[in-house]
Structure 1
Amino acid sequence: MHQESKEPSGPRYSPIHIRATWDGTGSVEDASRALGFSRAKGYDLIRRGEFPCRVLRIGRTTRVVTASLLRVLESGVPEYNGTHTGRDTS
């Protein structure tokens, strides 16, 4: 009996599935899993301004731009926001 793999590259997180089922933005948890790391690591990268996709902050909500996620998944080249919230630059 074959068990379904929980690999990030599985069908649920494939670019084809994301294109077909996600709206303009996705959750940090789902985007993180698609990229191969945990939700906690995703939020840590966002806090440091190093999440590999474009991120929108809407009030207290954080969403990942689906088009950016797809470009990163397909090219392997990160698209940083260019903002480093929470960092002291002095």
Structure 2
Amino acid sequence: MHNQNNGTSDTDAQYSPSHIRATWGGTGSVEDASRAFGFSRAKGYDLVRRGEFPCRVLRIGRSTRVVTASLLRVFDSGEPEYSNARA
């Protein structure tokens, strides 16, 4: 049965700013942040590697995390937080 929810899918709701504020900690995964921005996991990691991910990224050992506050600021302003990403 189709779940009608005013044109938004469960995936859209999962990556809405209000849901992110309520459920994410200080950082999120590159995969989740990429989906929130609307691109694939592979594209997200490619942007991280090139230093062009639209919000702040932390590399902690072998782990790469996206700063939740930075992601939300980018959503609010529509402007990336890195000057490289504006090119």
Q: TM-score, normalised by structure 2?
A: 0.83
Q: Which residue of 1 aligns with 2:15?
A: 13
- Amino acid corresponding to residue 2 of structure 2 in structure 1: H
Q: Which residue of 1 aligns with 2:75?
A: 73
The answer on 1:42 being equivalent to 2:40 is: no
Q: Which residue of 2 aligns with 1:2?
A: 2
The CA RMSD over aligned residues, in Å, is 1.8
* C-alpha distance in structure 1 between counterparts of 2:83 and 2:69, whole Å: 14
Count of residue pairs the alignment pairs up: 80
Once superposed, which parts of structure 1, at least 4 consecutive aligned residues long, lie more than 6 Å away? none
Per-residue CA distance 1:4-30 (angstroms, 9 max, x = gap): 7366xx110000000000000000000
Q: Which residue of 2 aligns with 1:87?
A: none
When residues 81 and 55 of structure 1 are mapped into structure 2, their CA distance, relative to the original with a 3 A threshold, is farther
Q: Which residue of 2 aligns with 1:30?
A: 32
* C-alpha distance in structure 2 between counterparts of 1:26 and 1:81, whole Å: 22
Which ranges in structure 1 are unaligned for 5 or more consecutive residues? 83-90
Q: TM-score, normalised by structure 1?
A: 0.81
Aligned identity (percent) is 79
* Contact 1:49 1:81 (C-alpha < 8 Å) held by counterparts: no
* Contact 1:31 1:69 (C-alpha < 8 Å) held by counterparts: yes
